[in-house]
A and B are shown apart, each in its own frame.
Chain A
Amino acid sequence: MNTNEIYTRSEPASVVGGRSAGSGMYDVVHEDAEHRPYANQAGAVACEVGYNFAYLDEQTKRMIRRGLLKAVAVPGYQVPFGGREMPLPYGWGTGGMQLTAAILGADDVLKVIDQGADDTTNAVSIRRFFARTAGVKTTTRTPEATVIQTRHRIPETPLTNDQIMVYQVPIPEPLRFIEPSETETRTMHALEDYGVMHVKLYEDIATFGHIATSYAYPVTVDERYVMDPSPIPKFDNPKLHMSPALMLFGAGREKRLYAVPPFTRVVSLDFDDHPFAIQSWDECCAFCGSRESYLDELIIDDAGSKRFVCSDTDYCMQRRDAEEEGAQ
């Protein structure tokens, strides 16, 4: 037994001091066997007192990490994982957060965006969470970030090979709205039977003259799996194709994760007579004048007048800064 004093066990307790006070003796009853007879006290670099580095315990991180390896090995396939409850509600990015927590290291620089912006409330909340629990450096600058957690956008600034994108995913199954049963959709993926998806898109064309999917637009990854790219606008779909960055997708409530490795073929579904096309605007950004970026529409007066501005706030800011510098 005294080996425990000599050797530190590999796994730090996720609960280090100060947590069990006030909780009764029953805490352990419904917890399951980890088959680790010795408790351990290894000191983790915990920034929030009492919580492990990046919040999740090491056992959970390992489980997610093993899932991520399989996700990378089978691009576009949804790996079931034992998603944990996070201290944020399901639907608010718990899947993305668990992935970020599992990959994040002390040297990482984290950027969090929601709707393309760094300062939307949910992005602020998640960025704060990791600043508190992992003590990592955060940034709003896309090129400075090593890990970018996002909801609904891919940055306009091209990504690099040293970056990892983490997407928050509400419904990971692209076939779900056509076939609600998981048993059925899993069979469809196994058999590479995606006929229903093409039928659905074609029905759109018959009804509206267009494919009526404008976000969460399904893609085929490396000519095998049909994948939901998360609710990014289809404007962002081409950025997935042969991207130098690793793309990780996490759905917390649905307990699925999947991945697109760097330099992987990602093709949006379409038809020869109705080729895939991205959104375009007649207007340019009212701040930076960009005609290449995805625009948010603002209603600016009671008469319903509109202005359009970049959804990617960092991209917009950099363009304005560059312009100012040029002017000086």
Chain B
Amino acid sequence: MSAANNSQWLQAAFNDPVLDAQTSFRSALKALAEPGLAQPLNRALALGNLHPATYALCLAFLDGDTPLWLAPCFDTPAIRANLSFHCGCPVVAEREEALFALLDEAGADDLSAFDNGSERYPDQSCTLLIQLDTLTGGEQLRWRGPGIKDVRAVELPLRPRFWQQRQARSAFPRGLDAFFAAGEQVIGLPRSTHVLLNAEEAA
């Protein structure tokens, strides 16, 4: 697959590859360090159905060392061509091989087989980049853990299935870390965050 054949799909990436990558990373870092707080992420334009925030995360994180798994809705010639050209990341078919996974709301319902690290190397796990239509309006859940002073109410519009899947893949320090992107914003959800589901709350 040569770049020339794909040139019709190519779009611009970051305006300033150095400083925009840095700004985007810092937003992501803050998002993960303070789970549940939305951070701005507006240094990229949309790419096909990828929102600006989602595309910015890709541009900031991915390169030749990061195998990427694409949910079917993001597996388009335009996304493949641009990620290949601007990031050089290999797109993998097997979930187990992925260091990053690009998911939509439906994709977030199935977290099976993504690498959640080992007891000895919990860092060697897949990071989920989950694009949603919006970061609010869902059921309000209470998040606790590092990065949250007391408790934080977050209302991501996710189906219960996601939380069950996340729970099933968690055995701290093993687990999956996620970024939720929508429009020009991002919310981080590291594995260290305890999400109190309403049933637990009642209990």
Given contacts A35-B64, A58-B21, A71-B123, contact A10 B147 (CB under 8 A): no
User: A130: CB under 8 A from chain B?
Assistant: no
**Which of A88-96, A260-268, A290-298 is found at the contact surface with chain B?**
A260-268
Given contacts A35-B88, A190-B120, contact A58 B18 (CB under 8 A): yes
User: A39: CB under 8 A from chain B?
Assistant: no
CB pair A62–B60 under 8 Å, yes or no, is: yes
CB pair B10–A68 under 8 Å, yes or no, is: no
**Which of B25-33, B46-54, B70-78 is found at the contact surface with chain A?**
B25-33
User: A44: CB under 8 A from chain B?
Assistant: yes
Mask for A158-197, Cβ within 8 A of B = 1, else 0? 0000000000000000000000000000110111000000
Interface size on A, residues (CB 8 A): 63
A-B contact count (CB 8 A): 159
Chain A residues, Cβ within 8 Å of B26 = 103, 105
CB pair B4–A3 under 8 Å, yes or no, is: yes
Report how far A80 CA is from B23 CA in the complex, Å: 24
Chain B, interface size: which category?
A: 35 or more
Expressed in whole angstroms, the minimum distance between the Cβ of A99 and any Cβ of chain B is: 11
Partner of B17, one of A34, A58, A65, A225: A58
Report how far A261 CA is from B193 CA in the complex, Å: 12
Q: Which of B91-131 contact A (CB under 8 A)?
A: 118-123, 125, 127
**Of residues A11, A52, A104, A222, which shows the largest number of chain B Cβ atoms within 10 Å of its Cβ?**
A11
Report how far A103 CA is from B34 CA in the complex, Å: 16
Given contacts A224-B172, A263-B146, contact A74 B22 (CB under 8 A): no
Contacts beyond the supplied A246-B29, A246-B33: 10 A-B pairs with Cβ under 8 Å: A2-B7, A6-B7, A7-B13, A35-B64, A37-B3, A45-B18, A65-B29, A69-B28, A69-B32, A190-B119
Residues of B bordering A, CB below 8 Å: 3-4, 7, 10, 12-14, 16-19, 21-23, 25-26, 28-30, 32-34, 59-61, 63-66, 85-88, 118-123, 125, 127, 145-149, 172-173, 175, 177, 190-192
28 CB < 8 A contacts A-B: A3-B10, A6-B10, A9-B85, A10-B21, A11-B63, A12-B17, A42-B17, A44-B18, A52-B18, A58-B18, A58-B21, A62-B60, A68-B29, A70-B125, A71-B123, A72-B190, A73-B191, A74-B122, A74-B190, A74-B192, A75-B192, A186-B120, A189-B120, A224-B172, A224-B173, A263-B34, A263-B146, A264-B147
